Amino acid sequence: MAFKITDQVSWVGKIDWELRSFHGDEYSTHRGSSYNSYLIEDEKTVLIDTVWGPFAHEYVKNLKKTIDLNKIDYVIALHSESDHSGALPILMNEIPSVPIYCTAAGAKIIKGHYHQDWNFVEYKTGDTLDIGSKQLVFVEAKMLHWPDSSFVYLTGDNILFSNDAFGQHYASELMYNDLVDQGELYQEALKYYANILTPFSPLVTRKIDEVLKLNLPVDIIAPSHGILWRDDPAQIIKKYLQWADQYQENQITIIYDTMWNGTKRMAEAIAEGIKAADPIVDVKLYNLAHTDKNDVITELFKSKAFLVGSPTINRGILSAVAAALELIAGMGFKGKKAASFGSYGWSGESSAIIQERLQAGKIEIIEPGLKVLWNPDADGLKSCREFGQIIADKLK
């Protein structure tokens, strides 16, 4: 249900506690999410974004309890993706002539989704809209993370409605950053950045610099998912600048899949070698077949280097490893180093295949891949430990 953020601004979205996957099954949402929609009641009444389609009827029904829909002067669609535009068809049935403010790309995409000829009004960066005692200032945020993404700033209350940027898939009835568990909040904010914004990091830095140069005071950052940043909202801007700048912690992550535990034993022996050479580095191991793929990407995002292992099967690699390499290539990680490993029985292509795919994803190879015949014996395990030590030494 609605709640007041300021005298004239209300949250009118939907908290989705049940959501466990997003973008189909491409993004796990262990802690649910929310679709944040906002209502501004100045001399003009403005609705910012809506909710995902399955909640459209509930959303419009609840919105009617807060406002007579005929009082809405402007609808603003900061981003056309279905989780924010999904209630437009039901809503616009009720108020068909109300203008929908969006970017030029947004109008095209919304038409592509819903095939409706609504009254679109396109905005560009710097355009403003007077709504009475306050003003709205639009900022395009192309490719953060879609071509149409944009922000809007409300003067007076100093709220930056940032849509997906600074959001988290994090359901909470507490709604504000100072009230929720900080570990949970930052885990979800980091996961969101790592999985959704990593490919666009150079644009993140440029856009934040551009917004900071506008010198607008920001008291609240109100994203379209998760909690609102009202306590020191600059903290998440600073984090984004760090995350966008080839972020890494003192962590090496080993990801692998295994059939009869040969490659798993290699992974464990490599970890021993790393630990022996560098007791401070945080070594983490994940079996890709048993680990959530988005959690893996989050761990790789935090790593200065990662190792990828698979046994050879049918002259190739195991499917969980192939899927992870596809995701890694799409991330466009910068400044990370990697190496490959794997056990084999006869042909033994896996380590070389992994290395090639990492290189194709522009990941720097720190050491040529390692392969061990069958289940590693004492010599095989020794070579794995040495491999780990060489890698740790090169990363110091």
- Indicate whether 198 belongs to the interface with ligand FEO (CB under 6 A): no
Number of residues counted as binding ligand FEO (CB under 6 A): 9
In the bound state with ligand FEO, the residue whose beta carbon lies nearer, of 195 and 340, is 195
Distance CA 254, CA 267 (A): 7
Min dist CB 196 to ligand FEO, Å, is: 8
Q: How far apart are CA 331 and CA 343, in angstroms?
A: 27
Q: Decide: is 36 part of the binding site for ligand FEO (CB under 6 A).
A: no
**Shortest distance, position 309 Cβ to ligand FEO, whole Å:** 33
Closest separation between CB of residue 260 and ligand FEO, Å?
42
Cβ within 8 Å of residue 112, ≥6 positions away: none
Q: How far apart are the first and last CA of the chain?
A: 52
For ligand FEO, the closer CB: 36 or 350: 36
Q: Is the separation of the CB atoms in 221 and 228 below 8 Å?
A: yes
Residue 193, number of CB atoms within 10 A of its CB: 25
Smallest separation (angstroms) from ligand FEO to the CB of 141: 11
The window from 78-86, 134-142, 208-216, 360-368 that contacts ligand FEO (CB under 6 A) reads 78-86
279-308 residues near ligand FEO, rule: CB under 6 A: none
Q: Which of 79, 134, 336, 337 binds ligand FEO (CB under 6 A)?
A: 79
Piece in contact with ligand FEO (CB under 6 A), picked from 3-11, 81-89, 245-253, 262-270: 81-89
225 binds ligand FEO (CB under 6 A): yes
Least distance in Å: CB of 345 to ligand FEO? Answer: 45
Binders in 113-152 for ligand FEO, by CB under 6 A: 145-146
Cα 357 to chain center, whole Å?
A: 23
Minimum separation from the CB atom of position 109 to ligand FEO (A):
11
What residues form DSSP beta bridges with 337? 305, 364
CA distances from 108 to 89, 98, 112, 151 (A): 15, 18, 6, 18
Residue nearest to ligand FEO (CB): 81
Nearer to ligand FEO, 33 or 351 (CB): 33
**Under the criterion CB under 6 A, does residue 84 sit at the interface with ligand FEO?**
yes
Rule CB under 6 A: choose which of 164, 188, 257, 268 binds ligand FEO.
164
DSSP secondary structure, 261-305, as one string:
SHHHHHHHHHHHHHHHH-TTSEEEEEEGGGS-HHHHHHHHHH-SE
Q: Is 49 in the site for ligand FEO (CB under 6 A)?
A: no
> E strand or H helix at 252, and its extent?
strand 251-256
The span from the CA of 297 to the CA of 304, in Å, is 13
Count of CB atoms situated within 10 Å of the CB of 296: 23
Residue 169 touching ligand FEO (CB under 6 A)? no
83 binds ligand FEO (CB under 6 A): yes
CA distance 308 to 288: 10
Q: Any contact of residue 188 with ligand FEO (CB under 6 A)?
A: no
DSSP string, 148-212: T-EEEEETTTTEEEEETTT------SS-BTTTS-HHHHHHHHHHHIIIIIGGGHHHHHHHHHHHH
Of the pair 79, 337, the CB lying nearest ligand FEO is at: 79
Query: Amino acid identity, residue 261?
Result: N
224 binds ligand FEO (CB under 6 A): yes
CB of 27 to ligand FEO, least distance (A): 10
Active site residues: 23, 79, 81, 83, 145, 164, 192, 225
In the complex, the residues that contact ligand FEO under the rule CB under 6 A are: 79, 81, 83-84, 145-146, 164, 224-225
